Structure 1
Amino acid sequence: MTSLAGAAQLNYQQLSREQAISLLVKRDAQRKLGLVWEREEIERDLALNGDFVVMDLGGDDRPSRGEAPYRNLLIEGDNFDALRWLSMTHAGRVRCIYIDPPYNTGNRDWVYNDKFVKKDDRFRHSTWLEFMFRRLEIAKNLLAPDGALFVSIDDNEGPYLKLLLDEVFGRDMFVTSFIWRKVDSPNDNKVKIAPDHEYIHCYASDEALARFRRMSADSILDAFRQRDERGRLCRDRLLRKNGKNSLRKDRPTMHFPLAAPDGTEVLPMLDNGLEGRWSHSKDGIARLQAEGRLIWKQVPGQDGRLAWVPYAREYAPETPDRPFPSIWADVMTTRQSKAHHKEMFPGVEPFVTPKPEQLMARILGMATEPGDLVLDFFLGSGTTAAVATKMGRRWIGVETEAEIAGFASARLAKVIEGEPGGISEDLGWDGGGGFAHLVADRVAFEDFAYDLKPRHLWLAIQAMHGVPLAPYDPDAALQVGLAEDGAAVAYCDRFTPAAEERVADLLARHQFLIVYAYTPGPLRDALEGRNSVEIRAVPDELVRRFQA
């Protein structure tokens, strides 16, 4: 993916023949297809932090909402740091990732490094690509094998983002680029072309696609205008093939006689006298007959006499549906979304281009089931988390800017209280749920002894095992939670008689126990010979996963 930009700095006149040949071989071996950007200088200047990442529960100014323990997480902090922490705690567990990243339009919507902005557009573009690449690389490892990714973008970086996603996720994972009509009213009349749409790039494995739901389509029932003797909606379709490839020469094995109710033989002849063919094979017609769906009718022939004609009966589906189209002009737009924001927060200037809840509901309804985990690491106004809450999905939202994270938190507080806007009426939403407001921070590895606190470890341990988050209790002999797989999980900060007694009690009540300890030696000695307990050292275990 990196270019040979460094080669341009060489003095070719001073190269030996062997050096020149070696350089040419490397150049020719480099892939010609794909996305190339100037990574060398960007990598040096970005100087991405390599410190260990920790999470803290927010204070009174960043309150968690609802009642603990919490299944949902609002993380405030650099999303690169948050993703690194999540790679330690949630690798392979996210069912759906949706992000609405900065579009890099040049209107100060994204300023990652002013030095590059001031240089030229080429470096702005390359820095944006590197910014996205770093985060998507980690996000890929968070997706479950049957998980799906959706990324909103516009024309400015849309084609380049598509190539970048191909690079990270693989072209075979690309499903489509949905087109969403984002406005339904006249736009700026001064522009040459009104930008009325955006794209949503979708990537998913075959396993993920197999889980995708189809959209409800009651209009399908309009084609079933008959009812059988039991009152079921049905239609009868001519058994003789019509249209393309309908001749005997097209499928010779599907031209054969059928016995009509009066014993006469019926062949699939076309009205023009040519030999046709049936739409079903012999085995297919036998199944129709066995199921009572081979229907014979007497209809007037060209000579005016009645003739036996076979039909295949089809029944209306109990739940009519069809695949989702790739063009979405039937969901709400930013205009309705802004109005929704104004209803929730009168007098507060809404976001410029907020995504409507109906759009997010379509994505989550298509790619997830209740209880699935959804991630949005460009949370913004909180639409993804709001919709996930209302639809019964678990969620993790990451927002870098403290002020925006505060807005999202306030919005989600209203959702928990049962705010009636967006998709609430459609779902009968009347409130519920909650989330932990976490704040990301960094701890240098050399400062573990001073800066890594028991509360940091306990939050990470709970997240790793799918334990709903509860605050660290300094008065408890042992921190305890129940993992997604049913095992009991505990953290022992100091091995005391009370902690040993608590461990014994847990072993009596649970088939398996995992204990994390800062000093695991005494605990191992006390529990020697017990096969139903596993003892892990912290922070060693966390660091190993963090650096994996």
Structure 2
Amino acid sequence: MADNYDQYSKEELLRLLRERDRKPRFGLVWERDEIEHDKSLNDDFVALDLDPNVSCGDAPFENLIIEGDNFDALRYLRMTHAGQVKCIYIDPPYNTGNRDFIYNDRFVDKDDAYRHSKWLEFMYRRLTLAKDLLSDEGVIFVSIDDNEMLHLGLLMNQVFGENNFVADFIWHHRKSSQNDIDVSLSHNYTFCFAKNRNNFKLNSLPIDDSKFSNPDNDFRGDWVADPMDAPNIRLNLMYPITNPNTGVVYLPPNGRHWRFTKEKFEEALNDARIVFGKTGKSKPQFKRFKSEAEEKGTNAFTIWDDVDTATEATKELMQLFGGNKIFDTPKPTSFILKILKLATNQNSIVLDFFAGSGTTAHAVMKLNAEDGGKRRYILVSSTEATGDAPDKNLCRDVCAERVRRVAQGYTNKKGEAVEGLGGSFAYLRTKRIPVARVFNDIQHEQVWRALQLVHRVPLTIYENDVLMQLAGNADDRLVYVPKLSQAVLDEVARLAALGGRLVVYSWQPGQIRQRVDAPNVAFEKIPEFLVSRFGGMAR
């Protein structure tokens, strides 16, 4: 029954009007006030602890694998990597109701009245943070199935802006039929949104060279015959073309025009770039050489049936683990590889904060091996421990272990040795610190770790037996002073005299500034510098 507004006071009516005006009038709305509060949301500061026993290779570490709630990890990365990430790929829970989405340490089932609202609140918080990490040329890809596809599309519009929509790619992930349902589901979706569509353009993909050949031994190499006509009518491109072998005169098909002006056509004909079919008795076609096609590449189609299926992805992962099935829903490396080719350059930072089995890092390493790139990856995964499986650690035992095997080499299901692709990663764990306790509780190692990431230098191991921590090069040095002494003052003065930019982080920067006051030296106070950059909880 509708409310009887006649019984409301003026103040109550004003309150209702203000509440109504605050609500969006168009777009996605979910029951934020009715659902159980997400316990992962907090205002604590977040630090990272390094586990050298799980890390891979030797320091300095270029790549990161972070174990912890991705809400905490994303807030930390907002402090260290805001505006730096070129490509984000995530494969979040699909919210099928079949024990795939955990909210407040419990699986959300199909009968939960707030099932979709919980998922939307969970995703909104994380996508909002992710947007801050993207560079102005950055892009995010989010995979999903029919359960939340419609909701996710609206949510992505709300967070990133519908004008920044790039495409919805469809992956043909299943080739076999599902006989237990009346419609066999054979595809998933991957939404692609740019941080700023005006600044982003997908890369072209490598061509399929199987159609190119050289039947006439053209000295310019393999070629393919392209149509000479194009859509629509343009009167200046409607001239007749005579086949010199048969005398037959050709005009463009109805509603179409020739690709070139008559002058350009004559130039192409004299350059032996016009052919008239395999026998020389057909309509005109244009020679497109393989070398030209390779230079230009080809645009991506929205339907992807040229990458491996989900079944092949499972087999690929089992090969890495001696034939054992250790993860149910991996993505194939070829799928992520295609995304990276479309959206990254050789020096890009790639983030996956639903890292699962670690396919994204595998694809980054594989593409770097192919093109000599220096892409870096950041993976984030929780342990996925629950009351039923309190000792489960997906991040350590599956994600990091897979990446380690790809980097260092492994023995496949057949017992054959597979060479590693190389590389290293730091294995890190999130640690919450109440903001009021940061001054007392944050460790020097945690401070130094954050400062290195802020300054985009590879992570080194904290050294306890030195005066201060030092990183960078002759042009740009970074110093962290955990404890002030005369020896420290002398060393900072020496570094300042060498020239180049020097940034000094200290708990007592004023005292160092009194001794070293040079235009090439900047001073920042710890922990205030990090707390200020960290900010509060995403609202």
The CA distance in 1 between the partners of 2:535 and 2:58, in whole Å, is 33
Asked if 1 retains the 8 angstrom alpha-carbon contact of 2:238 and 2:252, the reply is no
Equivalent residues in 2 for 1:120-199, closer than 5 Å: 121-187=112-178, 189-199=179-189
The CA distance in 2 between the partners of 1:238 and 1:77, in whole Å, is 55
Change (3 A) 1:291 1:467: farther
2:62 is aligned to 71
1:280 is aligned to 260
2:389 is aligned to none
Structure 1 residue 358: Cα displacement: 1.5
Change (3 A) 1:507 1:124: same
Q: Which has the larger radius of gyration?
A: 1
The CA distance in 2 between the partners of 1:29 and 1:448, in whole Å, is 35
Structure 1 residue 499: Cα displacement: 1.8
Residue type of the alignment partner of 2:367: M
Change (3 A) 1:37 1:289: same
Change (3 A) 1:333 1:253: closer
Decide which moves more: 347-356 or 460-469.
Answer: 347-356
Task: Among all aligned residue pairs of Structure 1 and Structure 2, give the percentage whose two residues are the same amino acid.
Answer: 39
Asked if 1 retains the 8 angstrom alpha-carbon contact of 2:98 and 2:110, the reply is no
Change (3 A) 1:343 1:252: closer
Equivalent residues in 2 for 1:98-497, closer than 5 Å: 98-113=89-104, 117=108, 121-187=112-178, 189-204=179-194, 205-206=196-197, 209-222=200-213, 226=216, 228=218, 230-233=219-222, 245=232, 250-254=233-237, 270=251, 279-281=259-261, 285=263, 289=267, 293=271, 315-320=289-294, 321-346=297-322, 348-392=324-368, 393-401=375-383, 403-407=393-397, 408-419=399-410, 430-482=420-472, 487-497=476-486
Q: For 2:29, which of 8, 27, 36 is the aligned residue?
A: 36
1:306 is aligned to none
Change (3 A) 1:314 1:350: closer
The CA distance in 1 between the partners of 2:348 and 2:121, in whole Å, is 30
Structure 1 residue 380: Cα displacement: 1.4
The CA distance in 1 between the partners of 2:364 and 2:25, in whole Å, is 41
The CA distance in 2 between the partners of 1:449 and 1:36, in whole Å, is 40
Equivalent residues in 2 for 1:481-520, closer than 5 Å: 481-482=471-472, 487-520=476-509
The CA distance in 2 between the partners of 1:80 and 1:101, in whole Å, is 13
Structure 1 residue 365: Cα displacement: 2.0
2:84 is aligned to 93
Say yes or no: does 1:537 pair with 2:519: no
Asked if 1 retains the 8 angstrom alpha-carbon contact of 2:171 and 2:187, the reply is yes
The CA distance in 2 between the partners of 1:315 and 1:406, in whole Å, is 49
Change (3 A) 1:522 1:281: same
Structure 1 residue 179: Cα displacement: 1.4
Q: Secondary structure at the match of 1:215?
A: coil
Change (3 A) 1:346 1:68: same
Structure 1 residue 118: Cα displacement: 7.9
The CA distance in 1 between the partners of 2:434 and 2:512, in whole Å, is 28
1:268-293 Cα shifts (integer Å, max 9, x gaps): 98499x9x9764347xx369749965
Say yes or no: does 1:53 pair with 2:42: no
Asked if 1 retains the 8 angstrom alpha-carbon contact of 2:64 and 2:379, the reply is yes
1:15 is aligned to 8
The CA distance in 1 between the partners of 2:108 and 2:227, in whole Å, is 66
Structure 1 residue 84: Cα displacement: 0.3
Query: TM-score with structure 1 length normalisation?
Result: 0.81
Q: For 1:83, which of 60, 74, 78 is the aligned residue?
A: 74
Query: TM-score with structure 2 length normalisation?
Result: 0.82
Change (3 A) 1:115 1:254: closer
Change (3 A) 1:180 1:494: same
Structure 1 residue 318: Cα displacement: 3.6
The CA distance in 1 between the partners of 2:514 and 2:269, in whole Å, is 69
Change (3 A) 1:232 1:502: same
The CA distance in 1 between the partners of 2:226 and 2:340, in whole Å, is 36
Q: For 2:513, which of 524, 534, 543 is the aligned residue?
A: 524
Say yes or no: does 1:547 pair with 2:527: no
Change (3 A) 1:403 1:30: closer
The CA distance in 2 between the partners of 1:313 and 1:418, in whole Å, is 45
Number of aligned positions between the proteins: 509
Change (3 A) 1:330 1:182: same
Residue type of the alignment partner of 1:522: Q
1:144-164 Cα shifts (integer Å, max 9, x gaps): 111111111111011111111
What stretches of structure 1 of length at least 5 have no aligned partner?
A: 1-7, 262-267, 299-308
Asked if 2 retains the 8 angstrom alpha-carbon contact of 1:85 and 1:546, the reply is yes
Residue type of the alignment partner of 1:178: F
1:334-392 Cα shifts (integer Å, max 9, x gaps): 22222233333247442111111121111112211233111111111111122223333
Q: Secondary structure at the match of 2:46?
A: strand
The CA distance in 1 between the partners of 2:486 and 2:319, in whole Å, is 56
The CA distance in 2 between the partners of 1:150 and 1:183, in whole Å, is 20
Residue type of the alignment partner of 1:153: I
Residue type of the alignment partner of 2:530: L
The CA distance in 1 between the partners of 2:289 and 2:115, in whole Å, is 58
Asked if 1 retains the 8 angstrom alpha-carbon contact of 2:80 and 2:450, the reply is yes
Change (3 A) 1:449 1:281: same
1:30-88 Cα shifts (integer Å, max 9, x gaps): 5443111011234756472101111111264xx21101010111111111001000000
Residue type of the alignment partner of 2:193: Y
Structure 1 residue 243: Cα displacement: 7.3
The CA distance in 2 between the partners of 1:352 and 1:419, in whole Å, is 21
1:302 is aligned to none
The CA distance in 2 between the partners of 1:191 and 1:178, in whole Å, is 24
Structure 1 residue 440: Cα displacement: 0.3
Asked if 2 retains the 8 angstrom alpha-carbon contact of 1:95 and 1:374, the reply is yes
Asked if 1 retains the 8 angstrom alpha-carbon contact of 2:275 and 2:287, the reply is no
Change (3 A) 1:517 1:233: same
What stretches of structure 2 of length at least 5 have no aligned partner?
A: 277-282, 369-374, 384-391
Change (3 A) 1:296 1:45: closer
Asked if 2 retains the 8 angstrom alpha-carbon contact of 1:76 and 1:398, the reply is yes
